[in-house]
């Protein structure tokens, strides 16, 4: 596989087998509720979607990295962030191929690819094939599922 993920790579992962994570974090639902803020829990553990344009993270383009708000798994680098105009933070590539897992999502009468933290299975958002070159991917993330860390 190439260093840059493509839409075909994403579809293959969603339909067959995701890349192996470097580690796993597993907790009971009660344990997640204890450690996550209610809005973060709702997005990451119950697959909720925050309102578009509800986070200042959409317009934040300073250097740094983004990790999973639930487990701290490193997900994205700010160099891959772009303004998609959708109201959610958007990225073109994960920081590592095995940072994110994918699954087909046929909810709400749509066919989409859900993105999940590959370490703790937290819902992050969705990925679409309408992003900028060279990958053409748009990782449309819930800001509540991400934690910005300085590098």
Nearest to residue 141, comparing CAs of 63, 61, 33, 49? 49
How do beta strands 81-82 and 90-91 pair? antiparallel
Count other Cβ atoms within 10 Å, centred on residue 34: 10
Of the chain, the end-to-end C-alpha distance in Å amounts to 28
Distance, in Å, from the CA atom of 61 to the CA atom of 35, rounded to the nearest integer, reads 28
- Cα separation values, 98 from 6, 32, 118, Å: 14, 23, 7
Return the active site residues.
140
């Amino acid at each position: 596989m190439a260093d840059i993920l493509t839409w075909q790579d994403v579809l293959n992962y969603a339909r067959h087998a995701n890349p192996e994570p470097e580690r796993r974090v597993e907790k009971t639902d009660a344990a997640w509720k204890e450690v996550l803020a209610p809005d973060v829990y709702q997005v990451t553990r119950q697959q909720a979607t925050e309102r578009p344009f509800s986070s200042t993270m959409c317009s934040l383009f300073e250097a740094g990295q983004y990790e999973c708000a639930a487990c701290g798994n490193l997900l994205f680098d700010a160099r891959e962030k772009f303004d998609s105009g959708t109201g959610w933070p958007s990225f073109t590539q994960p920081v590592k191929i095995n940072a994110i897992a994918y699954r087909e999502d046929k909810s709400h009468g749509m066919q989409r690819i859900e993105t999940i933290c590959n370490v703790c299975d937290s819902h992050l958002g969705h990925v679409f094939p309408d992003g900028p070159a060279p990958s053409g991917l748009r990782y449309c993330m819930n800001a509540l599922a991400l934690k910005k860390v300085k590098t």
